[in-house]
Chains A and B, each alone.
Chain A
Amino acid sequence: MRAGPSQDDVRRNNLGGLLRYVHVNGATTRAELTTRLGLNRSTIGALTADLIGAGLVSEAAPRSAGRAGRPSLVVRPESGRVYAYALSIEVDRLRAARIGLGGRVLEQYEAERPPGMTADEAIQPLARFVATMRTGVPDGARCVGSGVAVAGMVRQSDGMVRLAPTIGWVDEPIGEALRSELGGYGRISVGNHADVCALAEHARGAAAGSDHVVYLYGDVGIGAGIIAGGRRVTGHGGYGGEVGHMVVNPYGRPCSCGSRGCWETEIGEHALLRLAGRADRTGRDEVLAVVDAAMRGDSQAQHALRQVGDWIGFGVGNLVNIFNPEVVIFGGTLRDVYLGAAAQIRSRLNAIGLPACREHVRLRTPELGTDAALIGAAELAFDHLLEDPLVS
């Protein structure tokens, strides 16, 4: 029989809880921490002292006392001193950032990723960005590790990119390559782009406070980051959430994955541009141009947007029936398509979503914009720290 949690377990758990609270919510008074975490005042005092000792938080008197009585001290994360490196490998660009505890983007770099760029070629600029950032890190600052977001299917155990059709990679050991390139600076965790965007929006964006979230990311392909009961749903190997390959139309078009009628063949960038009579073009700006043309009354663009909106509604309706989320977030170019085709999306969702599953679902656009991937990648690195703040 397993014994109950030891005193050390309880303390580690409480330290993690407190640190996570200020990491997510920012500067918080001790009084509020006492209420929010359900611990007594002296415990909060002792935990805070431990975290200050470890250089993870700082404490100061509030600027102005709003009420009578001794003002409660404000605990804030040491965003400037504790940080993670965040890297993002996307279809058309590579990005790197240094992100402070509390989710603050301290500095950020970006390079184009020309089509056909191999994994080896992509590692180099990312390593250079990290090297540049390292030179500017203030003395005494502490790196907790690195997180990487890749627009593809990532093996959770070692960060192997199994398949990234939109980038054109198969079985690329990105985690391994970065580990040897960046070595010595803590753990490197690799995650799927939509998954980490979901993490970021859940921690500090449009899904803050919601524990059942479907984050849809769209460009050429469609992926989802799913959070259920406050936890990421990654599946056995880390490959879950490939909603772009739900088959919605068995008689539809062939998909890049080899199947036919996948969701992304009906709602991805190529589908919208093809329906709008612009099959020769690609990219975010071209998607925006279709939405813009539809707003100005171009009937072919309107037709394209409505048809894609209807198909989006089909898929979202299915996801809502399966996961019963509180929030569905439309990221990437799906944000613009959602705002331009919300009437069709909502109508179809209402038609096929079961009333009990859909009645409280909120449809939202992201709040963190393009920073979400970097902030979310950093969350992967911070997660290790938050689980056990004083070790690691």
Chain B
Amino acid sequence: MAATPLLELRGIGKSFGPVQVLRDVGLSVWPGEVTALVGDNGAGKSTLVKCISGIHTPDAGTVLFDGREVSIGSPRDAAGLGIEVLYQDLALCDNLDIVQNMFLGREIRWGGVLDEATMEEMAGETLRNLSIRTVASLRQPVSRLSGGQRQTVAIAKAVLWKSRVVILDEPTAALGVAQTAQVLEVVRRLADSGLGVVLISHNMNDVFAVSDRIAALYLGRTAAQVKVTDVSHAQVVELITSGTSGRSGAPS
């Protein structure tokens, strides 16, 4: 395991007017690991992600990337560092095919024209490396894909563009059982290929199935960040609902 986290947040605070949404939040994301971010509705998960992705600027605290302090003032800064956030609604264009979506805005040109062959090959290789075998043709419009397949295309896009930290917001919500399994496996492979992955989920099975660490937020604070080899389902539920867990000891 690497000696330093890929992304580390320390003492993050964020208020909207009189409402303090985040207080002294810490989070470490290690390369090769899935870190689950769990918490009740309103615990501050979305706000925290928006602070990482440059949509909000935190009022307090520091952000370290690769051990260096950085400031993420805009989504462009986050993208420049290699931080990619995949939201539930997935920013894919329905009328474009898989290759076009994966290269949207970053098309490879050869002379003045698009180099379709190279792009198709790169897209195919990225999908293969993630062991995604369920997509029949790379040239079908994404409108024809199932929810799970769309999710995997969005993940593959992040891999293709050399993202280093990928944050997934409820990637299995609204999916059937077969597709949920498929997405979970891709999430796991994403981390196994060396990226830092943050998984936001309400589903404890999803969290335990693929995570290495679990960070629990409670009322805008970090209740604990624990390794999945050290906790039980009941303890995590306790952290989410009461902010402490008798058996797992004090907050870290």
Contacts and interface: CB of A to CB of B under 8 A. Distances in A.
Nearest to B181: A339
Given A292-B177, A339-B209, A342-B205, A347 B229 contact: no
Contacts of B229: 350, 358-361
A340 B178 CA distance: 11
Given A347-B232, A347-B234, A367 B177 contact: no
A341 interface: yes
Contacts of A141: none
A343 B131 contact: no
Given A344-B233, A347-B232, A336 B177 contact: yes
Nearest to B236: A343
Contacts of A367: 131, 189
A373 B227 CA distance: 33
Contacts of B227: 359
Interface residues of A, number: 27
A243 interface: no
B233 A295 contact: no
Interface string A331-348: 000011011111111110
Contacts of B184: 339
Given A339-B205, A342-B205, A367-B131, A351 B232 contact: yes
A38 to B, nearest CB: 24
Contact of A340 (B177, B231, B232, B234): B177
A350 B209 CA distance: 14
Contacts of B209: 338-339, 342, 363
A129 to B, nearest CB: 23
Interface string B229-241: 1111110000000
A369 B185 CA distance: 12
A64 to B, nearest CB: 11
Interface in B17-59: none
A336 B180 CA distance: 10
A346 B228 contact: yes
Interface in B180-236: 180-181, 184-185, 188-189, 204-210, 227-234
Nearest to A344: B233
Q: Counting chain B CB atoms within 10 Å of each CB, which of A292, A295, A343, A359 scores highest? A: A343
A204 B176 CA distance: 29
B165 to A, nearest CB: 20
SS of A interface (majority): helix
Interface in A50-101: none
A360 B32 CA distance: 13
A367 B181 CA distance: 12
SS of B interface (majority): helix
Q: Counting chain A CB atoms within 10 Å of each CB, which of B205, B209, B234 scores highest? A: B205
Contact of A295 (B177, B230, B232, B234): B177
A360 B1 CA distance: 11
A288 B178 contact: yes
Contacts of B206: 342
Contacts of A345: 208
Contact of A291 (B177, B208, B233, B234): B177
A307 interface: no
Contacts of A336: 177, 181
Nearest to A351: B232
Interface string B116-134: 0000000000000001010
A340 B209 CA distance: 8
A292 B175 CA distance: 11
A365 interface: yes
A187 interface: no
A343 B233 contact: yes
B205 A350 contact: no
A346 B208 contact: yes
B231 A335 contact: no
A351 B176 CA distance: 31
A350 B181 contact: no
Nearest to B228: A346
A288 B182 CA distance: 13
A343 B177 contact: no
A347 B229 CA distance: 8
Nearest to B175: A295
B177 A350 contact: no
A30 interface: no
Nearest to B231: A350
A346 B204 CA distance: 11
A179 interface: no
21 contacts: A292-B176, A292-B177, A295-B180, A336-B181, A338-B209, A339-B184, A340-B177, A340-B205, A341-B205, A342-B208, A342-B209, A343-B207, A346-B208, A351-B232, A358-B229, A360-B229, A361-B229, A363-B209, A364-B188, A367-B131, A367-B189
Interface of A: 288, 291-292, 295, 335-336, 338-347, 350-351, 358-361, 363-365, 367, 369
Interface of B: 131, 133, 176-178, 180-181, 184-185, 188-189, 204-210, 227-234
Q: Shortest 8 CB-CB distances between A and B: which pairs?
A: A342-B209, A347-B232, A342-B208, A292-B177, A343-B233, A343-B208, A343-B204, A346-B208
